[in-house]
Amino acid sequence: MVDTGIFATTAEVGYKAGSGKSSVSAAEAYVNSFMTQAEAEINATCRYNFSDNYTTLNADTKGVLKCVASNLAAIYVIIYDMSGYNSRVEAEDLINVLRDAALRELALLKDKKVTDFVREVV
């Protein structure tokens, strides 16, 4: 199987999910599903289809999209099975860090002041 996500790869999601991640939820088939959901959430939240216009975006914008999508998908990987982490608190702390970063990055993508920069054509 091959990565089908547009914004981030299975490996990038795995890095963020940490060493306690489930081998099932970190498998490519699961991550591809999680990435599809994350990308759709980003597009809907920002009311702009970054997926369809990805090739025209600048490198900085692509980097922010990669960060948001991999954070959201990593949260799904962790939630699927928390038993591999030292404690539930460790897993929840990781989820909180990823969620906070995703919210911060989504706010950047939605901010009217940076809309022109974010959607700048290369």
Q: What is the average pLDDT across 13-36?
A: 96
Question: Mean pLDDT in the chain?
Answer: 91
pLDDT of residue 43: 95
d(CA 56, CA 78): 32
Confidence band for 88, pLDDT divided at 50, 70 and 90: very high
Question: Which letter does DSSP use for residue 54 in this model?
Answer: G
Contact, 38 vs 72, CB < 8 A? Answer: yes
Confidence band for 58, pLDDT divided at 50, 70 and 90: confident
d(CA 60, CA 31): 23
Q: What is the average pLDDT across 78-92?
A: 96
Using one digit for the tens of pLDDT, what is the confidence trace for 97-115? 999 999 999 998 888 666 6
Using one digit for the tens of pLDDT, what is the confidence trace for 26-37? 999 999 999 999
pLDDT of residue 110: 86
pLDDT of residue 116: 63
d(CA 34, CA 28): 10
Q: Is the pLDDT of residue 122 over 70?
A: no
**What does the domain layout of the chain look like in residue ranges?**
10-114
